[in-house]
Structure 1
Amino acid sequence: MIRARCHPKLRPLLPEPVPAAQTLPDWLKSMPSEVAAPSLGGEVVRTLKHCPPIIDALSSGVIIPLATDLHISNGEIAWDWDPPILQDALISRAPVGLHVPEQASGAPFKLASNAVVKFINFWTLETPPGWSLLFTHPLNREDLPFRALSGVVDCDLFKDGYVHFPALWTDPNFEGTLAKGTPVAQVFAIQRAALALDVGDMTENEIARNREVQHALGQERGVYRKSFRQRHRPG
């Protein structure tokens, strides 16, 4: 279990972290199930709505939402948010900060502005012993005008601190409001004990099983979710 906590005086103001399955993007919901492909002579093909790995990526882990509306105009970020002054806490009252571009010197980042944005996170996050958290850009969310950088934090040890989210602003033409609740990071719990890597050739039995799987995937719709996942589901 991931334990999320915020200062009680901020609780009424903040959108809560939520399971990613509850925040599937509108573009996925409105996407048609099938479309005609002119490049295939008008043949009807299935869209990403039929791709379990992509949907599972969108719906796995936990989403950290933007604390309040951000208004972007002429390359500047503003907000109308006045959280209480916390005499017993040391945390920014601003929902976003900046890293100067020199802090990314040498990195192959394509910056659409002269700074790296930092989304402020007002939630502490705690994991069970031996578990860390992977923080990354919300998966498959190229509709967002920024790209959060990825990082891993040992949140069983750093359970009383705040993990903030540096992000590259990728859309120089974005004007308008980035709404409160917009996903700014997706969080996955990972065990720190690394799995060993075994690389080698397929056996004849593995080749036969692989061919069987590929044949099934090509012949039957939904075979991955209906057959393989159910067959190998724990319990």
Structure 2
Amino acid sequence: MALILLAILAGPLAAAGLAKLVTAPDRVAWPIRRGPLRAPHGQRVVGTAELAAAVVVTVAPGLLASAVAVAAYAALTVAALATRGQLCACFGAARLAAVGRLHVAANATGALAGAAVAVVLAVGSAAATDGPAWPVRVAVATLAATLTYAAVLLADRRSPAPAAAPCTATVRAVHVYVADDCPSCRSLKHLLRQVEPARLDTVRTTVVARDAELPGDLRGLGVPCAQGLDAAGRPVCPPVSGIGGVKGLVDRVTIVAAVRSGT
């Protein structure tokens, strides 16, 4: 029974890890904006760690599996405490509630459950410590992951997409940030070649390293991303990311016709 509980604990870790790995970074409101786990790579690092932890918790010997479960859920508890009030990126792009008490409590419960299993395995009877073969544990973990993600999808469908306040400021120019090794950036470059020359002249492009920290409000966004500017070059409107967001911002630019002086 103890090993079955560990397999159940592995399910949400696997679901969360896979969701982070298969979701494009520009679709995730990643809450970490500084350090090695900042966007856009932090999402992949955390997802890989969660998936690896799920595998160990599922197939490793009992005490090792329970120790990894405790460590994983304790780390997620600390992360939930540190990001309270920010959008939840636990399961990729799913529109879940902001990180709050429920997230903290759920992860803390997982850590406590893992600790309880460790105690049972350390001092329990043979009946308590002898568990099913690893294929059964894998099946239980897979079922738990499937049910977890099904619940996430159901909550996602019931959650309306957050409506951004419309920006009414006049955009006169756009500062675009791209990277050389970014496939989406190359697609955006090809797309922008099709806009009229006068509009293209308002676009300023900066090439950054993929792991470089972007300035100001752009921190935490993946490339390509862009900031709208007014006639004086000051930022206006919230920054955008992704091919569609940047192209839409460029299309919003107000073109001012040049005035010729007469004689």
- Provide TM-score, normalisation by structure 1: 0.23
More strand by share: 1
CA radius of gyration, larger in = 2
**Which of the pair is proportionally richer in helix?**
2
